[in-house]
């Protein structure tokens, strides 16, 4: 427990442990908090074998592993070699068959206020019923299934039932469109899609089954579609292929034996954007991932047995996989999950949920914070948020102004902000203030220090470590248990994209600075990847989507700094023929991208121009477009072929600015 947590003279927040009747000095706190952290951290780096031997005990091993790490085929690492375990058994059975049987695993809240409380025993029964259904439908270890579902309990049940049987699942965020879904079905080679008739968001229904039907027109591997009835909207059921969840997942007392899989057997594939147009399927392990997610949640947030944890992400992203589903269940916690928008039906929705369910730990994104900030403090003050003890942030760098607003208003100057820096590939938090092992004085905007086992370094272009205070690439010198094992069907790209630039190290693609006190500050992506509302989107992927909408000859996309979303998508497009007006073309492109790729890919601005700046060899100069559009100096333009195109970009932006002001 802590008190007297406040912003100090150097904009640093100080954490004070209770049990003292005076306020310790900043130095005392610094040393007190960090001594335990430093001790554990050094042990993890100096003696990883011993460290992980102890920390692997956070899960049950059906067969204990022989070795902590096999790095003989680096960078294809194997953690907890020859260990046998099962994620579902660890997440559910241990609690349901033990003394957490009657404890709530989830409090599910719908946008319209409906709620369901699912105990560990209830989750166990649901998971067994669905695992039995999967088995009856012929699904077995190593098979692949797509889960394309809204934020409902059945999504969690589906994930856990797959894990129980060793079926490798790939969850596709329900905001993705049919082309994005089809790509993921094809790449994963899935034979089953688990979905719902639809989902609710902002008071509207998103018709998921229809999107699945469209995607399946493009693919050939799927032979079964399981559909949850959620919205009651009309759907077409293909008799040979589609079944209702409630028809197959019948209640029965029969338990399904968990499949004891190898620690390195894949648990799931999660697609994320990279620098090419093709999403990367990050393949995560079972044992290492379980050990990593459970330990990192404990270290960073230090949840108590009776805390209520709300990770306000979507299950479809890595944040949801790791910190809605797996880590909280592995620790036997109670989570609140919410199906819907945090500003619907009112901008006070998030605060209302915190008050109603007496939530103790809130984990959300800077975009959500900035969105709520826009609506003002009155919505926050209207609610009693005194249950909150800890606040978390993820997905993007949090700017100090938002940090402070979150700290002052949501946390009422009492709650530390745990800024967690990590990625789809890392499986769990990498840098974060570790409340559970010694909280450092916080600096708004810095994710502070590495968690145990994480060995980050900031490098220059040539792989040389830069001096403190200098911007460089952040890379990791050591593997960690939660790291992805490869890219699905593309081990060469795994090596090339992540391990080639700095041999022997994992290059995560972000810029960072380490300050003179050792704090890390993440400065954003160093590659052609945008971060829009905490979602990672490849510029080439969006350009391809603009072009795929037809009638577009070429396109260039970049991110414009945005006060709410972090980055907004700006697209330039050259039309193939002049018959369509710019207005019509823009409306059509928007509509197509929304349908094919999903709303998050729709550019905020689309400008139709006659040509794009190119080099003499015909390469589009995105760097120049971005600089001109942002009214910055374009740098070296000696290779520019068509200088008139630069004026066109400038004119397009000028007239857009005039129109929108």
Nearer to ligand PRX, 195 or 319 (CB): 319
From 44-52, 125-133, 211-219, 505-513, give the range in contact with ligand PRX by CB under 6 A: 505-513
Q: Are 458 and 470 in contact (CB under 8 A)?
A: yes
Q: Is 168 in the site for ligand PRX (CB under 6 A)?
A: no
Tokens of 62: 């059906």
Tokens of 484: 């992805």
Q: Is 312 in the site for ligand PRX (CB under 6 A)?
A: no
Question: What's the closest the beta carbon of residue 295 comes to ligand PRX, in angstroms?
Answer: 16
Tokens of 217: 């027109």
Q: Are 640 and 611 in contact (CB under 8 A)?
A: no
Q: Is 395 in the site for ligand PRX (CB under 6 A)?
A: yes
Question: What's the closest the beta carbon of residue 173 comes to ligand PRX, in angstroms?
Answer: 10
From 21-29, 336-344, 418-426, 628-636, give the range in contact with ligand PRX by CB under 6 A: 418-426
- Using CB positions, name the residue nearest to ligand PRX: 424
Q: Which of 390, 394, 418, 439 binds ligand PRX (CB under 6 A)?
A: 394
From 299-307, 404-412, 502-510, 632-640, give the range in contact with ligand PRX by CB under 6 A: 502-510
Q: Is 272 in the site for ligand PRX (CB under 6 A)?
A: yes
How many chain residues interact with ligand PRX (CB under 6 A)? 22
Question: What's the closest the beta carbon of residue 327 comes to ligand PRX, in angstroms?
Answer: 13
Q: Is 450 in the site for ligand PRX (CB under 6 A)?
A: no
From 193-201, 239-247, 300-308, 520-528, give the range in contact with ligand PRX by CB under 6 A: 520-528
Q: Is 259 in the site for ligand PRX (CB under 6 A)?
A: no
Nearer to ligand PRX, 491 or 524 (CB): 524
The angle subtended at Cα 534 by Cα 470 and Cα 635, nearest 5°, is 45
Q: Which of residues 207-236 bind ligand PRX (CB under 6 A)?
A: none
**Torsion angles phi and psi, residue 418, rounded to 5:** -95, 100
Question: What's the closest the beta carbon of residue 600 comes to ligand PRX, in angstroms?
Answer: 11
CA–CA distance, 441 with 86 (Å, rounded to integer): 38
Do the strands 308-311 and 361-364 form a parallel or antiparallel pair, or are they unpaired?
parallel
Q: Are 628 and 644 in contact (CB under 8 A)?
A: no
Q: Is 37 in the site for ligand PRX (CB under 6 A)?
A: no
Closest CA to 146 of 184, 174, 199: 184
Q: Which residues pair with residue 284 across a beta bridge?
A: 268
Q: Is 448 in the site for ligand PRX (CB under 6 A)?
A: no
Nearer to ligand PRX, 356 or 525 (CB): 525
Question: What's the closest the beta carbon of residue 475 comes to ligand PRX, in angstroms?
Answer: 12
Per-position DSSP letters for 241-290, written without gaps between them? TEEEHHHHS---SPPPPPP-EETTS--EEEEE--SSSSPEEEEE-SHHHH
Q: Are 156 and 171 in contact (CB under 8 A)?
A: no
Tokens 């990625």 sit on residue: 423
At 19, is the secondary structure helix, strand, or coil?
coil
Q: Which of 157, 371, 402, 423 binds ligand PRX (CB under 6 A)?
A: 423
Strand order in the sheet with 334-339: 115-119, 104-110, 334-339, 308-311, 361-364, 390-394, 417-420
Q: Which of 285, 367, 402, 424 binds ligand PRX (CB under 6 A)?
A: 424
Tokens of 156: 């969690």
Rg value, the chain, Cα: 25
String of b and e for 232-251 (b: at least 16 CB within 10 Å)? eeebeeeeeebbebeebbee
Question: What's the closest the beta carbon of residue 249 comes to ligand PRX, in angstroms?
Answer: 31
Q: Is 190 in the site for ligand PRX (CB under 6 A)?
A: no
Tokens 């830069």 sit on residue: 466
Helix or strand (DSSP H, E) at 310: strand 308-311
From 78-86, 136-144, 238-246, 524-532, give the range in contact with ligand PRX by CB under 6 A: 524-532
Helix ranges restricted to H, 382-490 = 400-405
Q: Is 420 in the site for ligand PRX (CB under 6 A)?
A: yes
From 12-20, 257-265, 395-403, 553-561, give the range in contact with ligand PRX by CB under 6 A: 395-403
Q: Is 296 in the site for ligand PRX (CB under 6 A)?
A: no
Q: Is 522 in the site for ligand PRX (CB under 6 A)?
A: yes
Nearer to ligand PRX, 130 or 403 (CB): 403
Q: Which of 242, 510, 543, 567 binds ligand PRX (CB under 6 A)?
A: 510
Nearer to ligand PRX, 297 or 547 (CB): 297
- The count of other CB atoms within 10 Å of the CB of residue 407 is 22
Q: Is 335 in the site for ligand PRX (CB under 6 A)?
A: no
Q: Is 279 in the site for ligand PRX (CB under 6 A)?
A: no
CA–CA distance, 293 with 290 (Å, rounded to integer): 5
Nearer to ligand PRX, 424 or 596 (CB): 424
Per-position DSSP letters for 145-202, written without gaps between them? EEEE--SSHHHHHHHHHHHHHT-EEEE--TT--HHHHHHHHHHHT-SEEEEES-EEET
Nearer to ligand PRX, 33 or 397 (CB): 397
Q: Is 525 in the site for ligand PRX (CB under 6 A)?
A: yes
Q: Which of residues 38-77 bind ligand PRX (CB under 6 A)?
A: none
Q: Is 533 in the site for ligand PRX (CB under 6 A)?
A: no
CA–CA distance, 480 with 476 (Å, rounded to integer): 9
Nearer to ligand PRX, 300 or 627 (CB): 300
Tokens of 194: 């688990």
Q: Which residues bind ligand PRX (CB under 6 A)?
A: 272, 318-319, 394-397, 419-424, 447, 508-510, 522, 524-525, 531, 536
């Amino acid at each position: 427990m802590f008190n007297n947590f406040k912003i100090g003279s150097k904009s640093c927040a100080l954490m004070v442990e209770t049990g003292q009747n005076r306020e310790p000095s900043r130095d005392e706190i610094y040393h007190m908090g960090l001594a335990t952290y430093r001790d554990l951290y050094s042990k993890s780096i100096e003696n990883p074998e011993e460290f992980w031997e102890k920390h692997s005990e956070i899960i049950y091993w059906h067969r204990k592993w022989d070795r902590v790490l096999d790095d003989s085929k680096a960078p294809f690492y194997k953690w907890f070699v020859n260990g046998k375990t099962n994620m579902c058994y660890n997440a559910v059975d241990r609690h349901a068959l033990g003394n957490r049987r009657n404890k709530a695993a989830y409090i599910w809240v719908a946008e319209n206020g409906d709620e369901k409380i699912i105990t560990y025993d209830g989750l166990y029964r649901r998971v067994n019923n669905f695992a039995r259904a999967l088995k009856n439908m012929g699904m077995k270890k190593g098979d692949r299934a797509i889960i394309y579902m809204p934020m409902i309990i059945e999504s969690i049940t589906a994930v856990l039932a797959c894990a129980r049987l060793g079926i490798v699942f790939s969850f596709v965020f329900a905001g993705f469109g049919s082309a994005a879904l089809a790509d993921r079905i094809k790449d994963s080679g899935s034979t089953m899609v688990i979905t719902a008739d639809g989902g609710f968001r902002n008071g509207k229904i998103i018709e998921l089954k229809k999107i699945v039907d469209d995607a399946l027109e493009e693919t050939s591997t799927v032979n079964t579609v399981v559909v949850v009835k959620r919205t009651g909207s009309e759907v077409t059921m293909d008799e040979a292929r589609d079944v209702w969840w409630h028809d197959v997942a019948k209640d029965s007392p029969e338990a399904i034996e968990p499949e004891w899989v190898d620690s390195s057997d894949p648990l799931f594939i999660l697609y994320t954007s990279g620098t090419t147009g093709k999403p990367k399927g990050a393949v995560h392990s079972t044992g290492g991932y379980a050990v990593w997610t459970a330990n990192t949640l404990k270290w960073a947030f230090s949840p108590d047995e009776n805390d209520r944890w709300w990770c306000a992400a979507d299950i479809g992203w890595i944040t949801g996989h790791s910190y809605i589903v797996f880590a909280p269940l592995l620790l036997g916690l109670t989570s609140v999950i919410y199906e819907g928008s945090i500003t619907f039906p009112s901008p006070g929705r998030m605060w209302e949920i915190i008050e109603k369910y007496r939530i103790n730990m809130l984990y959300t994104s800077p975009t959500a914070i900035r969105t709520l900030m826009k609506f003002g403090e009155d919505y926050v003050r209207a609610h009693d948020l005194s249950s909150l003890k800890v606040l978390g942030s993820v997905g993007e760098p949090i700017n100090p102004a938002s940090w402070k607003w979150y700290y002052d208003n949501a946390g009422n100057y009492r709650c530390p902000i745990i800024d967690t820096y990590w990625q789809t590939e890392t499986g769990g938090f990498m840098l974060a203030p570790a409340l559970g092992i010694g909280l450092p004085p916080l600096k708004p905007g810095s994710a502070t220090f590495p968690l145990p086992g994480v060995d980050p370094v900031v490098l220059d272009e040539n792989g040389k470590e830069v001096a403190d205070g200098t911007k460089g690439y952040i890379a990791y010198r050591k593997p960690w248990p939660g790291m992805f094992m490869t890219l699905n069907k593309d081990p060469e790209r795994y090596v090339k994209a992540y391990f080639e630039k700095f041999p022997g190290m994992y290059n995560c693609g972000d810029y960072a600075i380490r300050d003179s006190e050792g704090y890390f500050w993440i400065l954003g992506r160093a590659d052609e990847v945008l971060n829009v509302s905490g979602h990672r989107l490849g510029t080439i992927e969006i350009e391809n989507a603009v072009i795929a909408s037809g009638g577009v000859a070429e396109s260039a996309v970049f991110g414009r700094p945005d006060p709410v979303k972090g980055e907004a998508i700006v697209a330039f497009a050259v039309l193939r023929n002049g018959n369509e007006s710019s207005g019509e073309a823009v409306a059509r492109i928007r509509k197509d991208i929304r349908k094919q790729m999903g709303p998050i890919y729709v550019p905020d601005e689309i400008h139709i121009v006659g040509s794009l700046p190119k080099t003499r060899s015909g390469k589009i100069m995105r760097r120049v477009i971005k600089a001109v559009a942002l009214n910055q100096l374009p740098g070296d333009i000696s290779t520019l072929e068509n200088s008139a195109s630069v004026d066109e970009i400038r004119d397009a932006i000028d007239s857009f600015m005039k129109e929108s002001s």
